[in-house]
Structure formats: structure tokens, C-alpha cells
Amino acid sequence: MLAGAHVVRPGGVDEGGRVTVEGSRIATATADNRDGVAGHATETHDLTGHWIVPGFVDIHVHGGGGASFSAGTAEEALTAIDTHRRHGTTTMLASTVTGTLDDLARQAGALSELVEQGDLAGLHFEGPFISPGRCGAHDPDLLRAPEPDAVRRLLDAARGTARMMTVAPELPGGIEAVRLLAERGAIAAIGHTDATYETTRAAIEAGARAATHLFNAMPPLGHRAPGPVAALLEDERITVELVNDGTHLHPSVLRLALRAAGPDRVAFITDAMGAAGMGDGSYPLGPLRVEVRDGVARLPDGTIAGSTLTLDHALRRAVTVDGRPVDHAVRALSTTPARLLGIADRTGSIEEGKDADLVVLDADLTVVGVMRRGEWLVKP
């Protein structure tokens, strides 16, 4: 039993609450710590002064711990997974970066095995179907239009585990690709795009349901040519990704997005590459090399190349810098991305019967405990 903590649940924060776990599931989650101790828990953790929040859900992460999902090997993938788990991320999609179709299909085949055995929640193809003018840290020589056969090839290679694909809808075949993804049950995410407001609206009507790291790698919001940002923020069907590391977005822009979309439509992501959880140095990101200095990842020309962020840092920043209540920040870290993935019936909130994916934070919001499916990965 975990007792005495501030427990973040769907209705708010239970002061001095209690969570009990049986096997891999949450047995009870109550606001009152006085009764019901016997019969559920084999051991009791007094967590007075701590927080218990649901495990974080990262829908956009490329690697960590010096390892990259784009390597396409179980060894590197498991290193990255373990790194982020220890920072509270109990559910994640493995995001690839632009490569040849052959390379991406090979990576998908290897990573899909980790999805099937429960280590990953699915795959996210970020590229190659993105705009050359907004490619960021993707190799421009490997970009291509989203022809149906190419899209189907990657989906087939993932064997049903592809949960998301980033598409620039203004590319030839872009709207058709969005429609195809929706039909195949994958989330079409609009990103790395030069789309107009009107084209973005058309993509949403075709089935797009997410925005890949909103504001980054897309035209800025304009008062006469609003572009994709306005279309994505105003439509209640769209979940917007935000990278809250202090580098990708100015705090005022992040607060603007939070007010416009609200915590039920914002998913904090890391967009982390292999340097997450590591120090400064040189790291691969797909076929490119990235230099990390002072914790910021950039290409040699200065282009931001993913991040070194972990979601616990994003949570602390949301509360201490952006002034968000802890329960609002947790919705953006856990509940909202779980809902987007269609797994909110299993994880993303602390409720009876759901997976026991829990994070224990101290008073400074530092991770001191991580439980995944009832097993302690980091024991408080």
C-alpha cells in the first residue's frame, strides 16, 4: 500500500490518499488513508509529503541513455526504454527518423517485436513524408512524397504496431495519406510542414488527429496567413504535442498553447534523442550526427535536433516555470496522450482496475519511485 501522499486522480488531488496494488493492477485508490489497510497490501510505504501520479506516456521519443530506436536493434531500444522508465515514463512510442524505406521497414520489423512483448506501446514514423523546407534534423536527401504504396509498406512492416505517422499534408498525396492512415487505425500527425491554414483544415477533415511538436518545424502563426498553428489549436479533435524544455518554445508561447488548447488536448513529449539521460557530446540521430552542448542538441548548422529532455523535467518545469497546477501538468503527461493512443482504459490515470503504472515524486517533484504494472523499477 502507498499511503499518506498527495494522489493525483481524475477528479483532482487527494490529500493524504491511499493507493493499493494487487498484482499488476490498481486495487483501490481512495482519498482516505484511515481504513482498508488490511486485505490488499503486503507492504506499506509511508509517502507523507510525496506525490503519487500516473506513469507518464511519451508519444514522441527517439532514444535515450546513449541509444536510439533508429538503430533498429532490441539492445539499443531496451536501453532507451530503461532510461526513460527511470524518469517516470512507463508507456512510450518508439519514434524513428527519416531513412530509406528499406531501413525504416527493417527498423519497424525489429521494434514491432518489442511492442508485441509489451515493452513499447507502438511505433511513430516521423518522416520521410515531411516537407524539405521544414525538415529540421531529418536528412533532406531521403525525404519523399507520401505515395500510398510507400505508406502501406511502412504500415505493413510494422505488423499492426504503427500507432502514429507524421505527414506534411501539402505534399503530393498528403491528404490521401492522412485518409489512409485513419482507415488503417494509425494516428495521422501533422508536422514538419509548410501547409496553409486551408490545407491543414482539409487534413483534419480527412482524419488527422495530432500535431507533431506544435510550432516547431512549421510556419509561425500569422495574423493574415494563420498557417497550420491556428488550424491545429482551434480544432477540438486535435491533440497538440509540446516540447517543454525551455529551448523548443518560449514560456509565453507554451502558456498560450495551454490556454488555447487546454490540458485535455495537450500532450507533453520529449522528442528525446540518444543523449537524454547522458552528458554533452556527439550522438547519432538516424543518419546524422548531433552535437549536444549544455544539454541542447543541435546539428552543426545550429538546427535544433530533438532534445535531451525526460518527462519528469517537463513536469517540474510546467509547475515551477509555467505555473501549472500539478494535476493539470499530469493530464498533459499521462491522461491526454493515453487517450490519444486509445489506451486510457488501461493506463494514464490512477483508477481502480487500471495498470499499476505509478510515479512517486518528492516535495520538489523529483522522481523517487517508479512502478510499472505493479513492479517497482525504482523503489521509494
What is the model's pLDDT at position 37?
Answer: 36
Distance CA 371, CA 64 (A): 19
pLDDT in the model for residue 33: 52
Q: Per mean pLDDT, which range of 9-23, 184-198, 223-237 is the poorest?
A: 9-23
Does residue 42 register a pLDDT over 90? Answer: no
Of the candidates 314, 343, 364, which has an alpha carbon nearest to the alpha carbon of residue 89? 314
| pLDDT of the residue at 285 | 86
Predicted local distance difference test score (pLDDT) of residue 263: 80
288 falls in which pLDDT band (50, 70, 90)? confident
**Residue 333 and residue 309 in contact, taking contact as beta carbons nearer than 8 Å:** no
pLDDT at 165 (0 to 100): 98
What's the average model confidence in pLDDT over 82-96? 98
Q: Is residue 84's pLDDT more than 90?
A: yes
Q: Taking residues 107-132, report their average pLDDT.
A: 97
The pLDDT, as a whole number, for residue 31 is: 79
Residues 313 and 101: their CA atoms lie apart, in Å, by 34
> Any known ligand binding at 213?
yes
Query: 305 a known binding residue?
Result: yes
Q: Residue 287: is its pLDDT beyond 90?
A: no
**Residue 44's pLDDT band (boundaries 50, 70, 90)?**
confident
Q: Is 248 annotated as a binding residue?
A: yes
Is 190 annotated to bind a ligand? Reply is no
pLDDT on residue 45: 85
Place of cell 520489423: 109
Report the share of the chain in percent with pLDDT over 70: 97
- Let me know: does 373 contact 23? Beta carbons within 8 Å: no
The answer to whether residues 141 and 165 touch, using CB atoms and an 8 Å cutoff, is no
User: Across residues 111-140, what is the average pLDDT?
Assistant: 97
Is residue 33 marked as binding?
no
Listed residue (245, 272, 219) closest to 97, CA to CA: 272
List residues with catalytic annotation.
271
pLDDT exceeds 90 at position 41: no
Residue 334 and residue 344 in contact, taking contact as beta carbons nearer than 8 Å = no
* pLDDT tens for each residue of 47-63: 999 999 999 999 999 99
Q: At what angle do helices 74-85 and 101-116 cross, to 10 degrees?
A: 60
Average pLDDT taken over every residue of the chain: 94
Q: State whether residue 188 is helix, strand or coil.
A: strand
Q: CA-to-CA distance for 312 and 156, rounded, in angstroms?
A: 34
Specify the pLDDT at position 32: 65
Q: Is residue 8 within 8 Å of residue 19, measured between CB atoms?
A: no
Average pLDDT for residues 135-143, to the nearest whole number? Answer: 95
Please name the residues in contact with 259: beta carbons below 8 A apart, sequence gap of 6 or more. Answer: none
Q: What average pLDDT does range 9-17 have in this prediction?
A: 91
Interatomic CA distance for residues 236 and 58, integer angstroms: 21
Query: Is 137 marked as a binding-site residue?
Result: yes
- When pLDDT is averaged across residues 121-138 and rounded to a whole number, the result is 97
- Any alpha helices (H) in the chain, and if so which ranges? 74-85, 101-116, 148-157, 174-183, 197-206, 227-234, 251-261, 311-320, 326-330, 336-341
- Give φ, ψ of 52 to 5 degrees: -115, 120
Cis peptide leading into residue 128 (ω within 30°) = yes
Statement: residue 268 has pLDDT above 90? yes
What's the length of the chain?
380
Q: Check the annotation: does 189 bind a ligand.
A: no
pLDDT in tens, 349-376: 999 999 999 999 999 999 999 999 999 9
**371 phi and psi, to 5 degrees?**
-120, 130
- Does 170 appear as a known binding residue? no
Residue 380 has pLDDT above 80, yes or no: yes
Q: What is the mean pLDDT of residues 312-327?
A: 96
- Which residue type does 108 have? A
pLDDT band at 39; cut points 50, 70, 90? very low
pLDDT digits 0-9 by tens, 174-225: 999 999 999 999 999 999 999 999 999 999 999 999 999 999 999 999 999 9
Q: Which domains does the chain have, with CATH numbers?
A: 2-53+349-378 (2.30.40.10), 56-341 (3.20.20.140)
Beta bridge partners, 292, equal: 281, 297
Find the angle CA(75)-CA(88)-CA(236) to the nearest 5 degrees: 105
Find out whether 94 is annotated in a ligand binding site. no
Residue 192 is assigned to a ligand binding site? yes
Grid coordinates of 186: 494509425
Per-residue model confidence (pLDDT) at position 334:
98
